[in-house]
Amino acid sequence: MGITYKDEQGIQGMRTACRMAAEVLDHLTEHIKPGITTREIDRLASEHMKKQGSISATLGYQPSGYPPYPASLCTSVNHVVCHGIPNDKPLKKGDICNVDVTVIKDGWYGDTSRMFIIGDASIAARRLVSVTYDAMWHGIVQVKPGVRLGDVGWAIQKFAESHSFSVVREFCGHGIGKNFHEEPQVLHYGKPGTLEELKPGMTFTIEPMINAGRRDVKEFGNDGRTIVNKDHSLSAQWEHTVLVTDTGYEVLTLSAGSPAPPAFVKG
């Protein structure tokens, strides 16, 4: 299937699903502190989805070659890059944890993730989290008709590497709509002026995974899912779903509890 362009009705559907995904993160925020397990975070999220009338897109999700994913969200702690499976290990002061929520509402998918700093963390960890947030936004502000995905990837890569961090290559953002993962792939590195041209009605995620050390990753253990950093350095990730409008972009995964955009973002 190629890229899908959403009409006004599709955009409304996406707005609702995306806001709900963000509101799950809002709900979790006060609970995410030292001592909570990622399994408890998963339970709280599942409960909130039920209450808001959405369903988890990850629970039972099974791309070809993978076992069905067993949880309502992904929790990736410290050197885990992405797709961490919730477990019974309590989070401790100084950890950093990505919580990635994807919900389905009326057939539409909304996908967003945030970083949580547990208690307080080292300066190095906080810097990685904040540079990764800004890197995502450097990609987002590129988005408008006529721009190419290579411009988005380059903006993210240039910013992350200017802080001596590295961009994970094996995973990328993705088109999203009535399917979880649609075309196009949204690389978080690249060359200006290359790849797909953005057009109004496209919806896709921008979700850079940035490593404090080298960019290489590997599969961890035997759960068939969890991805870790080869060099065990810290990894961070943030994710928004965005719409290409006639004049620029609309971030769809915003909610009352979303962190403010960085100062360089206008309007």
42 binds ligand MF3 (CB under 6 A): no
The binder of ligand MF3 chosen from 3, 39, 61, 257 (CB under 6 A): 61
Q: Which of residues 175-214 bind ligand MF3 (CB under 6 A)?
A: 205, 207
100 binds ligand MF3 (CB under 6 A): yes
Residue 205 dihedral angles phi and psi, to the nearest 5° = -100, 150
The binder of Co ion chosen from 111, 134, 151, 182 (CB under 5 A): 111
100 binds Co ion (CB under 5 A): yes
Q: Copy the structure tokens of residue 59.
A: 């629970």
105 binds ligand MF3 (CB under 6 A): no
Q: Which stretch binds Co ion (CB under 5 A): 24-32, 58-66, 104-112, 142-150?
A: 104-112
102 binds ligand MF3 (CB under 6 A): yes
Residue labelled with tokens 């509402």: 105
136 binds ligand MF3 (CB under 6 A): no
How many residues in the chain? 267
Nearest distance from residue 193's CB to ligand MF3, in Å? 26
- Residue 102 or 166 having the CB closest to Co ion: 102
* 220 touches, from ligand MF3, Co ion, none (C-beta below 5 to 8 Å by class): none
* 235 touches, from Co ion, ligand MF3, none (C-beta below 5 to 8 Å by class): none
241 binds Co ion (CB under 5 A): no
114 binds ligand MF3 (CB under 6 A): no
- Expressed in angstroms, the distance from the first to the final Cα of the chain is 35
Sites of contact with ligand MF3 (CB under 6 A): 58, 61, 69, 74, 83, 100, 102, 111, 205, 207, 225, 239
